[in-house]
Amino acid sequence: MALRGGSKTYTMEIEETIQNRVQARDAAMRLLNRLTTGAAVSALVGVGILGAVSAHTIPGTAGSSTASTATTSSSSSTTITSSGLQSSTTPVTSSASSAVAVSGGS
C-alpha cells in the first residue's frame, strides 16, 4: 500500500514537472511571438521616424525627376543635387568648340 501510494506521488510529481515545463514553453512561445511582433512594428515605425529625421537633416530636392539640373547666369551657377541645393560663385563657361562664353542665360 505504501509502495502504491509512493508510486502515485512520484507519478503526480512527474506529471506536475511535465505540466510546468509545458507551461514554461508556452509562455516562452508567447513571449517570442510578442517580441517578433514588437520588433516588426518597431521596425516599420522606425522606417517612418528615421525617414522623417533624414528628411529633416538632408531634405534634398522636391519634385525633381532628373538626375541633376543646372541653371546658369552671368555671375553664378546653381546645381541641384540629391543632397540639396549647392551654390557656386565661380563663373560658368561653355565647353562648346567655338569657345563662346555663355552669359545672360535664364
Partner 1 sequence: MTDTLLWYTTRGAGAVSLVLLSAVVVLGILSVLRVQSTAWPRFLTAGLHRNLALMTLVFLALHIVTAVVDPFTHLGWLAAVVPFSSYYRTFWLGLGTIAFELLLAIVVTSLVRSVIGQVAWRLVHWLSYASWPVAVLHGFGTGTDAWSAWLFALQAVCIVAVLAAIGYRLMAGSRDPLAAARSSFQAGVDRREVK
- Any contact of residue 58 with partner 1 (CB under 8 A)? yes
- Any contact of residue 64 with partner 1 (CB under 8 A)? yes
Contact with partner 1 (CB under 8 A) among 12, 14, 18, 53: 53
Strand residues in the chain grouped as ranges (E): 69-72, 77-81, 84-88
Residue with cell 525617414: 51
* Sheet of strand 84-88: strand arrangement: 69-72, 77-81, 84-88
Residue with cell 552669359: 103
Residue with cell 538626375: 67
- Any contact of residue 83 with partner 1 (CB under 8 A)? yes
Span interacting with partner 1, options 2-10, 11-19, 45-53, 91-99, rule CB under 8 A: 45-53
Contact with partner 1 (CB under 8 A) among 65, 87, 89, 90: 65
Q: Is the distance from CB of 101 to CB of 73 less than 8 angstroms?
A: no
Q: Which is nearer to partner 1, 12 or 31 (CB)?
A: 31
Amino acid present at 79? T
Q: Which is nearer to partner 1, 14 or 41 (CB)?
A: 41
Binding site for partner 1 (CB under 8 A): 24-25, 28, 31-32, 35-36, 39-40, 43, 46-55, 57-67, 82-83
